Amino acid sequence: MGPFFFFLRNRYCYSMENKDRQIILNQIRTPDGTVIRSMHRHDYVTHLDKNGKTYMVDGGADYLRRNYHPDAPHEELTVYSDDPFELVRENLMRGGRGKDGTGPLTWVPLCKMSNEWVKACIEYNDLRGMGSAPATEFYRKELEYRAQHGIHIND
């Protein structure tokens, strides 16, 4: 499905869904160089650019939603599951609150997660019947990548 354009509060917007490609990271760069990203469904993020226009992203890994300024377009930076794995591993984010679960939510790219954390994510997903989910497949692929490249990240 291609983009679908609509008018919302005096702004041109578009929404895009593509069933053939999984969104890994939903983000754009505005004309002033600011990168804004939507981390989860309905994570509506805006930025007032130095050019006076407001830019927005929404949808996390579920869908892409943007506003559009024909006279000052943004740069699309969204990463998809079929992009090179080196790009995917730098942009597939996992939210965490620390080992005890009480810390603030922080987003960590797959390439920075400890080996133990990656393994724990695989085990957690396998126990819940999500062993073939795209994220789980990327966790497995990350461990293979690390083994091939001699990478080990400790907690």
Same domain, 40 and 69: yes
pLDDT the model gives residue 68: 86
Lowest mean pLDDT of 19-23, 62-66, 77-81, 150-154, name the range.
19-23
Better pLDDT: 98 or 90: 90
Q: Is residue 15 pLDDT above 60, yes or no? A: no
Backbone angles phi, psi at 116, to 5 degrees: -65, -40
Lowest mean pLDDT of 11-15, 46-50, 147-151, name the range.
11-15
Q: Using the structure block, give the residue that is written with the tokens 């990203």.
A: 37
Q: Name beta bridge partners: 4.
A: 15
Q: What is the separation of C-alpha 21 from the centre of its chain, rounded to a whole number of angstroms?
A: 13
Write down the pTM of the prediction: 0.81
Q: Is residue 105 pLDDT above 70, yes or no? A: yes
Mean pLDDT across the chain: 89
Cα Rg for the chain, rounded, in angstroms?
17
Which of residues 53, 80, 107 is at a domain's end? Answer: 80
Same domain, 36 and 62: yes
Same domain, 118 and 64: no
pLDDT the model gives residue 10: 42
pLDDT band at 7 (very low <50, low <70, confident <90, very high): very low
Same domain, 76 and 89: no
pLDDT the model gives residue 155: 87
pLDDT band at 75 (very low <50, low <70, confident <90, very high): very high
Q: Which domain covers residue 75, as residue numbers?
A: 4-80
**Hey, which bits of the chain come out as E strands?**
4-8, 11-16, 23-29, 35-38, 45-48, 54-58, 64-68, 75-76, 79-80, 93-96, 106-109
Q: Whole-angstrom Cα distance, residue 88 to residue 109?
A: 9
Same domain, 49 and 94: no
